[in-house]
Structure 1
Amino acid sequence: MSDRTLDLDDFSDLIERPHGGLRRDAEERRARTGLPDQALGRLDELGEWLTAAQAKVPVEPLRQPKLVVFAGDHGVAELDVSTRPAGSTHALVRSALDGLSPAAILARRLEVPLRVVDMALDCDPAELPADVTRHRVRRSSGRLDTQDTLTAEEAEQAFRAGMAVADEEADAGTDVVVLGDLSVGGTTAAGTLIAALCGTDASVVTGRGGGDIDDLTWMRKCAAVRDGLRRARPVMGDQLKLLAAVAGADLTAMTGFLLQSAVRRTPVLLDGVVSAACALVAQRVAFRAPDWWVAGHTGKEPAQAKALDRMALEPLLDQQVAVGGGTGALLALPLVQAAAQLAAELPVSEESEEVDGAGDAATEEGETANASALDAT
């Protein structure tokens, strides 16, 4: 797709569902462990999801998680819709890189490497490491209430940057991504996207953000979402135009990242309202894509609940975390890791092991046959 004009319709053909047959094999294997049905609750469901994603029975434990955080400033922050001043996201990024943010502290505790991707920070790129800024599209995004946040060319560049990051992580062997975001004004963009795609009013999706804004700030934010909706609705039939109109470079890149991760069969753990908004746009592009994602937690933003409900994704945790950066999703990561470990290592009877071995052989034969069929075509 990189050598020609970007066509989002291609994702519908490229993205396949996780291996449903192996998910059933995982269910049968779990039934032969001797544990009562439902004894592990949602851990069984997560283990089966990972089995299908990895296409392996039994599933392999998760050994290479990665926290990937997309960062950017939003012009709409000039309207004082946040507790933080416009253009100050670089301070949040520096805190994360220095290991001082909540997400960075949790990532260190969980031994999860952190990667920050600057898409539109409003600062001199020389202030940050080159590996952070190399995908930057522009310095801050446009004001979504009065103008497109990106040009068409910038939107495609940001979307492709997200795809490139997904490919880099897949090539590096990352076996699950915790997806986070850092921005000032990002929840306003996310609320606008979710309101447009869910057909709701601005007041229904507008929350208090990460800083628990006061009533006057909330009203300004609600007005910005309302004005953004007027600009978003005419272009809802074209998801790339929709992203250019109101999303900004960071959310556009996250959408490309989610879709390409699904193409590369990389499971993703969603964080807050921003990643939920991007996932909702990605679902409109390719309806099978949400099968590759798990909602890590539910926060305080009403728009997040709307988006997750539309995608039929049930959050793993409800801790009302609102600080962003992947913090809430990191809290859920140990549950996903535990599910993989249990599914991989719970002992089964000798008879069931023989059945598993036969299943692996059948899978290998099927893969060989599929490869031959592809060669023939």
Structure 2
Amino acid sequence: MFAVDPVNHQLDEQIQHKIDQKTKPLGALGELESLAMQIARVQLGDTFDPTAQLAINKPAMLVFAGDHGIAKHGVSIAPSEVTKQMVMNFASGGAAVNVFCRQMGLKLEVIDCGMLTPWDHPSVTNHRLGSGTQAIHQQPAMDRQTVEQGFLFARDAVQRHFDAGCNFIALGEMGIGNTSPASAIMAAMLHLDVKECVGRGTGIDDESLSIKRELLSQAMDLHQENISDPMNVLACLGGFEIVQMTGAILAAAEKKMLVVIDGFIATSAALVAVALQENCKDYLIYAHQSDEQGHQKMLQSLQASPLLSLGLRLGEGTGAALSLPIVQAAVNFYNEMASFEHAGVSNVV
């Protein structure tokens, strides 16, 4: 369904030389230098032009919302109705992601992937796959055809922004209970025991954590014979918003766009996307390390270096929004910082 080209590594030496000739000691800008290299690989094409500029054009935040059957079974501090209430909050501009998107200059699109009840509003895109998934410890979350339809919806969303001149997509989500499917996806994709993957989500107590572990263990046992490939993992264990985030990663990478992954739930989508199309990993920027248990192991499995570690566990794309100034700093130093030669500074390295 998606064809993602690998980035071009043939220009690495020239790109690195340009970075090294900036007026600084070698490597002194740390991970900003690696980030600039990654962005340059994506954006510079096949012929090195030392005057070529990197750019973040019309950056957009896509927040995918959906509900989960397992949320009815005591795995969250909030009822599923809060998903819709928060989407209404997004639409009125009052959530953390709204605040950060306004501050950072990100265009925000909120997408209803399958809340319990639809809400017709001009600020919310209708890409509904149903009225919440099935409870994954009792039956598959959805069928495989629904996963495929979710990918088509995601492709449409990415295409709209690409056609408007966007080359930078950030991904967030909203869905009460969605750390449960994300934990199950992590366990399935990394072949780990559920206990290593399950955390407290929005802050559940010990009793609810025990319930969550038990239900996800049941889910893994129920679906064990049917999760041999990534599409089946999504169908058996996923969420409507996780499916569409996975599709958005693949669609954006296919368009050679940079994709910023938010926290734990978005990273579970990245796990599946990379398994489906390994080349898409070259287009992914990981915003932060979440405070959710298991996220560090996910990041390690993807060989990812998150830009921030602020103890965040809100979701919504908040960490992805906060990372944009760092990405822009990498672009700006590459474009604007003088070389030793042009500045008349002695290169003592």
Q: Tell me if TM exceeds 0.5.
A: yes
2:77 to 76, 79, 83: 83
Equivalent in the alignment of 2:347: none
Superposed displacement of residue 137, structure 1:
1.3
The answer as to whether partners of 2:260 and 2:284 remain within 8 angstroms in 1 is: yes
Equivalent in the alignment of 2:44: 55
The answer as to whether partners of 1:207 and 1:300 remain within 8 angstroms in 2 is: no
Instruction: Find out whether 1:276 has 2:267 as its counterpart.
Output: yes
Instruction: Find out whether 1:317 has 2:308 as its counterpart.
Output: yes
The answer as to whether partners of 1:152 and 1:241 remain within 8 angstroms in 2 is: yes
Give the letter aligned to residue 83 of structure 2.
T
Instruction: Find out whether 1:172 has 2:164 as its counterpart.
Output: yes
1:308 to 299, 312, 316: 299
Which stretch of the first structure deviates more once superposed, 164-173 or 323-332?
164-173
**Aligned-partner Cα distance in 1 for 2:53–2:191:** 39
Superposed displacement of residue 22, structure 1:
2.9
**Aligned-partner Cα distance in 1 for 2:266–2:98:** 18
The answer as to whether partners of 2:57 and 2:165 remain within 8 angstroms in 1 is: no
Query: Equivalent residues in 2 for 1:346-365 (5 A)?
Result: 346-348=337-339
Equivalent in the alignment of 1:212: 203
Give the letter aligned to residue 38 of structure 2.
W
The answer as to whether partners of 1:18 and 1:55 remain within 8 angstroms in 2 is: no
Instruction: Find out whether 1:262 has 2:256 as its counterpart.
Output: no
Considering only aligned residues, what root-mean-square deviation do their CA atoms show, in Å? 1.8
- Secondary structure at the aligned position of 1:166 is classed as helix
Task: From the two aligned structures, give the one with the greater helix fraction.
Answer: 1
**Aligned-partner Cα distance in 1 for 2:222–2:157:** 29
- Secondary structure at the aligned position of 1:261 is classed as helix
Give the letter aligned to residue 101 of structure 1.
A
Instruction: Find out whether 1:226 has 2:217 as its counterpart.
Output: yes
2:154 to 162, 168, 171: 162
Superposed displacement of residue 204, structure 1:
0.9
Equivalent in the alignment of 1:336: 327
Which stretch of the first structure deviates more once superposed, 165-174 or 305-314?
165-174
Query: Equivalent residues in 2 for 1:182-193 (5 A)?
Result: 182-193=174-185
The answer as to whether partners of 1:198 and 1:306 remain within 8 angstroms in 2 is: no
**Aligned-partner Cα distance in 1 for 2:282–2:64:** 22
The answer as to whether partners of 2:133 and 2:142 remain within 8 angstroms in 1 is: yes
**Aligned-partner Cα distance in 2 for 1:38–1:28:** 11
1:144 to 136, 141, 152: 136
1:45 to 16, 29, 34: 34
Equivalent in the alignment of 2:94: 100
Equivalent in the alignment of 1:153: 145
Equivalent in the alignment of 1:7: none
Superposed displacement of residue 186, structure 1:
0.9
The answer as to whether partners of 2:104 and 2:322 remain within 8 angstroms in 1 is: no
The answer as to whether partners of 2:140 and 2:235 remain within 8 angstroms in 1 is: yes
Per-residue CA distance 1:315-354 (angstroms, 9 max, x = gap): 11110101110111212111011100111111236789xx
Equivalent in the alignment of 1:285: 276
Per-residue CA distance 1:215-266 (angstroms, 9 max, x = gap): 0111111112212212343223232222111102111111111111111111
> Where does the alignment leave 5 or more consecutive residues of structure 2 unmatched?
344-349
**Aligned-partner Cα distance in 1 for 2:222–2:184:** 10
- Secondary structure at the aligned position of 1:218 is classed as helix
Which stretch of the first structure deviates more once superposed, 294-303 or 55-64?
55-64
The answer as to whether partners of 1:87 and 1:140 remain within 8 angstroms in 2 is: no
- Secondary structure at the aligned position of 2:169 is classed as strand
Per-residue CA distance 1:16-58 (angstroms, 9 max, x = gap): 2222123332211112223210111111111111111112654
Per-residue CA distance 1:136-179 (angstroms, 9 max, x = gap): 11111111110111123222111221122222222222121111
The answer as to whether partners of 1:195 and 1:303 remain within 8 angstroms in 2 is: no
Task: Please give the TM-score of this superposition, normalised by the length of structure 2.
Answer: 0.92
Equivalent in the alignment of 1:8: none
**Aligned-partner Cα distance in 1 for 2:28–2:114:** 46
Identity %: 28
Per-residue CA distance 1:286-338 (angstroms, 9 max, x = gap): 12211110110011112222211111001111101011101112121110111
The answer as to whether partners of 2:23 and 2:337 remain within 8 angstroms in 1 is: no
> Where does the alignment leave 5 or more consecutive residues of structure 1 unmatched?
2-10, 353-377
**Aligned-partner Cα distance in 1 for 2:283–2:223:** 27
Equivalent in the alignment of 1:19: 8
Equivalent in the alignment of 2:346: none
Give the letter aligned to residue 290 of structure 1.
K
Superposed displacement of residue 69, structure 1:
0.8
Give the letter aligned to residue 189 of structure 1.
P
Equivalent in the alignment of 1:116: 110
Task: Please give the TM-score of this superposition, normalised by the length of structure 1.
Answer: 0.85
